[in-house]
């Protein structure tokens, strides 16, 4: 795809419920791809297929079993990922039902092949619609849980920038901030303006996640959105089958990795700015900062050590630090 011809997706906030939007924008050539949780909201409105995860075999089954010229993908990341994969060569509108990761406006999908997740190029949505009623009507604890996860995933851009500058041989603060200035603006917003998980923070988070997605699209690469903290995430999932999609959340896991990377940066450069900024924002958002808080989320110290051992040969900034298998820094971070 010629990057000069890419039309970036619009982000739209709607006061309509998801069911109302589907009725309004779907037709006989529309296929709605959704997950079990959201299927009950839209059942009977249009031809609909339910996906339970992001496994690859579903894609060929859907393509062969349905006639469509456009897809509306509704739900969490699995539905959006499969929807984008099935929309290649067609058009797609994305309606995220939760804001738990920075995947909402991407032209890439995480697809599972034989138990292994792979990030691959799929299709860019023409529009991303955030349905405020569906988000704000969910229980407060659920809204907080998933939006907290979205913020956790958003701020991995800081860790990714550190990783990129590490490989470039320039860990100056100016260079790290310069790569992802919008992310640092989001951190400052959390510290200064965040006061609860409500409509204001939902709107802000959706805009931050949308802009984060567009970084991937514009650069045609994810090196500023995911690095060692996501390698740690995938290692922890492999090593801990008791982890589920909701406990601990994606955002909680990658946030722990981001905090570790920020602490390593602090010790390697003597500059406290990024670690202090991340820690202050995480405290306001309720992201884990201590062993006790990690344990409450389902992440044990031993899990982190095993995961870090698993990625020590990955070539990432995070992996390289733990090649000597010295994990004392974890106590300096989380033993509070």
For each of the chain's 336 residues, which pLDDT tens digit applies?
444 467 899 999 999 999 999 999 999 999 999 999 999 999 889 899 999 999 999 999 999 999 999 999 999 999 999 999 999 999 999 999 999 998 899 999 999 999 888 889 999 999 999 999 999 999 999 999 999 999 999 999 999 999 999 999 999 999 999 999 999 999 999 999 999 999 999 999 999 999 999 999 998 888 899 999 999 999 999 999 999 878 999 999 999 999 999 999 999 999 999 999 999 999 999 999 999 999 999 999 999 999 999 999 999 999 999 999 999 999 999 998
Angle (nearest 5°) at CA 223 between 120 and 271: 155
Q: Tokens 């409509």 sit at which residue?
A: 199
Is 0.85 surpassed by the pTM of this model?
yes
Q: Are residues 175 and 307 in the same domain?
A: yes
Which phi and psi angles does 95 have, rounded to 5°? -125, 95
Q: Are residues 311 and 179 in the same domain?
A: yes
pLDDT of residue 336: 80
Q: Are residues 17 and 127 in the same domain?
A: yes
| Last residue in a domain, options 108, 135, 162 | 135
pLDDT of residue 1: 41
Q: Tokens 């400052």 sit at which residue?
A: 188
> How far apart are the C-alpha atoms of 88 and 73, rounded to whole Å?
13
Q: Are residues 123 and 210 in the same domain?
A: no
> How far apart are the C-alpha atoms of 190 and 11, rounded to whole Å?
21
Contact 227, 316 (CB under 8 A): yes
**Other CB atoms within 10 A of residue 232 CB:** 29
Residues in the chain: 336
First to last CA, the chain: 49
CB-neighbour burial class of residue 5 (10 A; exposed 0-12, middle 13-18, buried 19+) = exposed
pLDDT of residue 5: 63
Q: Are residues 307 and 158 in the same domain?
A: yes
Total domains in the chain come to 2
| Token digits of residue 309 | 């051992």
pLDDT of residue 202: 98
pLDDT of residue 92: 97
Contact 55, 112 (CB under 8 A): yes
> How far apart are the C-alpha atoms of 79 and 56, rounded to whole Å?
12
For residue 193, give its domain range.
139-334
pLDDT of residue 116: 85
pLDDT of residue 192: 98
Q: Are residues 43 and 192 in the same domain?
A: no
> How far apart are the C-alpha atoms of 162 and 307, rounded to whole Å?
20
Contact 252, 147 (CB under 8 A): no
CA distances in angstroms from 21 to 31, 47, 87, 96, listed in the order given: 14, 15, 19, 13
Q: Are residues 153 and 274 in the same domain?
A: yes
pLDDT of residue 279: 98
Contact 233, 257 (CB under 8 A): yes
In a 3-state reduction of DSSP, which class is residue 155? coil
Q: Are residues 225 and 125 in the same domain?
A: no
Q: Are residues 125 and 150 in the same domain?
A: no
Q: Are residues 246 and 325 in the same domain?
A: yes
């Amino acid at each position: 795809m010629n990057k000069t011809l890419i039309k970036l997706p619009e982000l739209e906030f709607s006061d309509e419920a998801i069911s109302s939007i589907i009725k309004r924008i779907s037709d006989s050539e529309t296929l709605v791809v959704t997950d079990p949780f959201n299927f009950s909201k839209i059942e009977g409105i249009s031809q609909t297929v339910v996906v339970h995860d992001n496994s690859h075999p579903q894609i060929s089954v859907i393509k062969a079993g349905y006639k469509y010229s456009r897809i509306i993908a509704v739900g969490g990341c699995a539905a959006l990922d499969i929807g984008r994969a099935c929309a290649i060569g067609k058009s797609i509108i994305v309606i995220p039902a939760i804001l738990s990761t920075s995947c909402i406006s991407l032209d890439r999908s995480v697809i599972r092949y034989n138990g292994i997740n792979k990030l691959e190029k799929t299709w860019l949505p023409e529009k991303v619609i955030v349905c405020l009623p569906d988000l704000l009507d969910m229980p407060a604890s659920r809204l907080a849980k998933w939006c907290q996860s979205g913020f956790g995933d958003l701020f991995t851009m800081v860790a990714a920038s550190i990783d990129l500058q590490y490989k470039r041989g320039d860990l100056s603060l100016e260079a790290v901030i310069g790569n992802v200035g919008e992310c640092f603006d989001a951190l400052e917003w959390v510290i200064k303006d965040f006061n609860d998980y409500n409509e204001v923070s939902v709107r802000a988070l959706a805009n931050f996640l949308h802009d984060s997605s567009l970084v991937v699209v514009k650069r045609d690469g994810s090196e500023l959105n995911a690095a060692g903290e996501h390698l740690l995430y995938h290692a922890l999932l492999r090593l801990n089958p008791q982890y589920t999609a909701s406990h601990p959340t994606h955002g909680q896991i990658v946030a722990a990795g981001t905090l570790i990377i920020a602490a390593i940066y602090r010790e390697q450069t003597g500059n406290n700015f990024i670690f202090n900024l991340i820690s202050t924002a995480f405290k306001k958002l309720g992201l884990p900062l201590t062993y006790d808080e990690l344990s409450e989320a389902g992440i044990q110290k031993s899990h982190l050590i095993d995961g870090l051992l698993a990625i020590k040969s990955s070539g990432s900034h995070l992996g390289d630090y733990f090649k000597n298998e010295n994990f004392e820094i974890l106590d300096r971070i989380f033993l509070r």
